[in-house]
């Protein structure tokens, strides 16, 4: 059973009981989905074993709905977290950076007690 969670989050509000997506990240996801020409995909965020610190994030577009998924809508962008990853991602914020120094999605996770030097993994 998929759990639907409706959200009207903005950058100024912050959930502690689920994932957060900034308006900048939501805009980038929408843009990428438009480029793909698909409206049946959602952004899946997962925590997997790996990396030098023990756990690593995975962000990818997915058309599947798995048993226990938590789906949150951010201004028309569906963000899906599997039931095993939910405890690791509660309160985490996903943003999109586009500067000279950094480009890509970033995750600010209050549950991470440490991370590797390259920022790819956490524990």
pLDDT tens digits along 55-65: 888 999 999 99
The CATH number of the domain where 44 resides is what? 2.60.300.12
10 lies in a domain?
A: yes
Q: What is the pLDDT of residue 9?
A: 40
68 lies in a domain?
A: yes
Is the confidence at residue 19, as pLDDT, over 80?
A: yes
101 lies in a domain?
A: yes
79 lies in a domain?
A: yes
Domain total for the chain?
A: 1
Q: What is the pLDDT of residue 114?
A: 63
Most confident residue range from 1-5, 17-21, 47-51, 77-81: 77-81
Q: What is the pLDDT of residue 103?
A: 85
26 lies in a domain?
A: yes
Is the confidence at residue 119, as pLDDT, over 60?
A: no
Is the confidence at residue 3, as pLDDT, over 60?
A: no
Residue 73, token pair as written in the block:
């809508």
Cβ 3 vs Cβ 14: under 8 Å? no
Cβ 95 vs Cβ 45: under 8 Å? no
**Domain span at residue 32?**
3-110
Q: What is the pLDDT of residue 12?
A: 39
Q: What is the pLDDT of residue 49?
A: 83
109 contact partners, CB below 8 Å, separation of at least 6: 88, 89, 91, 92, 93, 122
Cβ 61 vs Cβ 42: under 8 Å? yes
Is the confidence at residue 11, as pLDDT, over 50?
A: no
Residue 12 in 3-state DSSP?
Answer: coil
41 lies in a domain?
A: yes
Task: Indicate the pTM of the whole model.
Answer: 0.77
| Top-confidence residue, 17 or 66 | 66
Residue 53, token pair as written in the block:
């610190």
């Amino acid at each position: 059973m998929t759990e639907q969670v409706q959200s009207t989050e903005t950058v100024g509000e912050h959930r502690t009981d689920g994932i957060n997506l900034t308006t900048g990240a939501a805009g980038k996801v929408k843009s990428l989905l438009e480029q793909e020409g698909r409206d049946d995909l959602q952004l899946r965020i997962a925590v997997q074993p790996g990396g030098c610190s023990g756990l690593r994030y995975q962000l990818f577009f997915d058309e599947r709905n798995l048993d226990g998924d938590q789906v949150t809508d951010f201004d028309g962008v569906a963000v899906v977290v599997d039931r095993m990853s939910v405890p690791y991602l509660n309160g985490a914020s996903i943003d999109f950076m586009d500067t000279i120094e950094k480009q890509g999605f970033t995750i600010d996770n209050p549950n991470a007690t440490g991370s590797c030097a390259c920022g790819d993994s956490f524990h």
